[in-house]
Chain A
Amino acid sequence: MTSRSVYGALIATAFVLPSGPAAADALTAATGTQQPLNATAIAMFLGFVAISLGITWWAARRGTSTAKDFYAAGGGLKGVQNGLAIAGDYTSAATFLGVTALVYTSGYDGMIYAIGFLVGFPMILFLIAEPLRNLGRYTFADVAAYRLSEVPVRAVAGVNTLVIVVFYLIAQLVGAGKLIQLLFGLPYIYAVGIVGVLMMIYVTVGGMLATTWVQIIKAILLMSGSVLMSILILGHFGFSLEALFRAAVTLHPKADAIMAPGGLVKDPVSAISLGLALIFGTAGLPHILMRFFTVSDARQARTSVLVATGFISIFYSLLFVLGFGAIAIVSANPQFRDASGALVGGVNMVALHLADAVGGSLLLGFISAVAFATILAVVSGLTLAGASAASHDLYARVIRRGRASEHEEVLVSKAAAVAISLIAMGLGVLFENQNIAFMVGLVFAIAASANFPVILLSIVWPDLTTRGAVSGSLAGLLASVGLVALSPGVWTAALKLGPAPFPYDNPALVSVPLAFAVSWAVSVLDRSAAAASVRASFGAQHVRAQTGLGVE
C-alpha cells in the first residue's frame, strides 16, 4: 500500500479534511478481506448493547416527554459527566484506528492530525461556551435567534444542521459498515442495519439522557482500552519511551525519518486552510454545541470543556504510543501478514493486531467491542442533533411559528430521529462502494463557514443584523459546498472530470473569511427598521450572555 492511499484511508476513517485526490479512494483502500467471526468481540459487544439498552429503558422511565428532558437531559448534568460525554462524541472509532494506522505508516505525520483535532477545543471555551450556555436552550440556533429575527435565522441554521448531520452520518455509517465487516466478520448490510437500529432506539426511546450515558460509558471504555494497551506496549520496552522509539526507528523502512514531519502537509495554503477548518469547524459542529445545553450554568459548561479537553489530550497522546508501538511490535511479527506480505485486513486494522499482540484474543475482543460501541455513541449524538434541529428549529419555530405544543414538538423530534436514521441507513447502503471521503471535508467546511461565524458574531458584535447573519451563513454554506465540489477530491477523483477548477481540497481559507465578510458588509449596509431594533436589543442579550441572569 502506498503512503498516498494510506493517507486517503486515514482521511476517510479519521474524519480529517481530504487534501489530495487520493483521498477520495479512501474507503476502497480501507476495505479488506472479511475476517472470521470473532466470538469474544461479539460477546463483549452484546454486553455493551445490553447495558446501553438498560440505560435507555431507565432514561425512558425518567421521562422524555418534555422538550427539556428530551433535548437536554433535563439540563441537570454535572460538568464532569457532560465533559466525558463531549469526549465520547468527539473521539470516533475512526480516529482511534485511523490515527494509529497513520502513525504506523508515516510515523510523526500521524501526530500532526492528532494535534489538529485538539486545537479547536479550547477555542470553544475561550470564545463561545459560556454565552452559548447562558443564551441557548436546546440548539445553537437559539443563540443566534435570541435577538435576531427568528424564522430566517432558524431556517438557515436548521438546514445547515441537517446537512451536516446527514453527511456526517453517511460517512460514519459507511466507515462503520466496513470496519464492522473487518472486526466482527459480519456482512456490510447487517453492520449498517445494527448500528442504525440501535442509534434509533437510543435516541427515540431514551432521548438525550440515554445518549449521554452511552457516550460516557463509551468514553471510559475507549480510554481504559488505550491506557491498558499503552501500558502493555511500554512494558515490552522496560517502560522506556527511548527504547520504544528506538525499536520503531530500527524496524521502520523510513528509519529515523519517522521521527520528523515527512511532507504530509506540503504547501502552506493547504496547511493554513486545514488549520482554520479544524479550529473553527469544531466550534460549529451542532452535536458538540448541543452538549452545552445539558448543564445547568456557565460554571458547569467550563468544567465540561476542561474535562473533555483533558480526556481528549490524554487519548491523543496515547495514540502516539500506540502508533509507534504498532511499528515496533506488529511490523516485526509475520503472524499479522498475509501471503503477499501486506497487513491482514488492511492498515486500519493495525490497532487491533496490536491489541492481539500485547494482550491476546481477550484484549482483541475488548478493543473490537469498544470500537463498535464508539461508533454507536457518535452516531447517536449526531442523530439527536439532527432531530432537534428538525423539530425545535424547523418544525416548532419556523413551520408552526411557535404554536406547536411541547408534547407535539417532542413527538416530531422522535419521528425526525426515526426518519434521519432510516435515511442515513439507506444512504449508507447506497454509498457502500462510493467514495465518501469528501463528505467529511464538507461537514467540517460547512460547520466552520456556515455556523461558526454566525454564532460568534451574534454573541460578540452588536451591529450584526438578521440579513447579515442569514446572508453570511448562506455565503459560507454555498462557498464551502461549491468549492468542495470543484476541488480535486470531488471534481478529479470522484467525478473524474479532469483537472479541478479549485486547486485545494479544503475550502476553509476562502469560505470562512467570506462568511465573515458577507455578514459584516450586509449588516453594515442594512438600514432597515428591523436592523435598528435588533441592534438596540444587543444590550439585553449581552447582559444575559455575560451573567446568565434570566436563565431558566
Chain B
Amino acid sequence: MDLQTIQQHPTFRQLASERTRLGVAMSIVMAAAYFSYILTIAFWPRLLGYPLWSGTVITWGVLVGVGLIALGFLLTAIYVRHANSRFDSLSQLLLEDLR
C-alpha cells in the first residue's frame, strides 16, 4: 500500500478531518471556559461571591470551580468515548480496505 493511496483514501480523509475537528473543538471549549473563569476573577470577582441560594454560605464560585474541574473530565470522557468507537472503527475500515 503506498502513501498516496492512503492519503487519498476517503476513509483516511474522513478520519483525519473528524479527529482534528473534534480535538480543536474540545480544546476551544476547555480554553474558553477556563479563560472566562480567570477573566471573571480578574474583572468581576464579586460575581463569584453570590450565595447559591439565600441562607447558604456556599457561593457560585464553589459551584463554578467544581464545575470547571468536572467539565475537564467530562470533555475528556466524551473525547475518549467518541474516539474509541468512531475513530477506531474508521481506522479498522481503512485497514480492511487497504488489505
Contacts and interface: CB of A to CB of B under 8 A. Distances in A.
A341 B16 CA distance: 62
B3 A241 contact: no
B51 to A, nearest CB: 8
A338 interface: no
B62 A108 contact: yes
Chain A interface category by residue count: 35 or more
A279 B35 CA distance: 10
A261 B34 contact: no
A374 to B, nearest CB: 21
B58 A115 contact: no
Interface in A74-126: 108, 111-112, 114-115, 118-119, 121-123, 125-126
B80 A303 contact: yes
Contacts of B48: 108, 260-261
A126 B62 contact: no
A546 interface: yes
A119 B15 contact: no
A302 B72 contact: no
A263 B43 CA distance: 10
Contacts of A320: 62, 65-66
Nearest to A302: B80
A122 B26 contact: yes
Contact of A126 (B38, B59, B79): B79
B49 interface: yes
B79 to A, nearest CB: 6
A161 to B, nearest CB: 24
Interface of B: 3, 6-7, 12, 15-16, 19-20, 22-24, 26-27, 30-31, 34-35, 37-39, 41-43, 45-46, 48-49, 56-59, 61-62, 65-66, 68-70, 72-73, 75-77, 79-80, 83-84, 88, 91, 94-95
Interface of A: 108, 111-112, 114-115, 118-119, 121-123, 125-127, 130, 241-242, 245-246, 249, 256-257, 259-263, 265-268, 271-272, 274-275, 279, 298-299, 302-303, 305-306, 309-310, 313, 316-317, 320, 460, 539-540, 542-543, 546-549
Given A302-B79, A546-B15, 10 more contacts: A112-B38, A126-B22, A260-B48, A261-B61, A299-B88, A306-B76, A460-B20, A546-B16, A547-B91, A548-B91
18 contacts: A108-B65, A111-B65, A112-B65, A126-B24, A126-B75, A260-B45, A260-B48, A260-B61, A261-B48, A261-B49, A267-B42, A272-B38, A279-B34, A302-B83, A310-B73, A320-B65, A460-B20, A543-B6
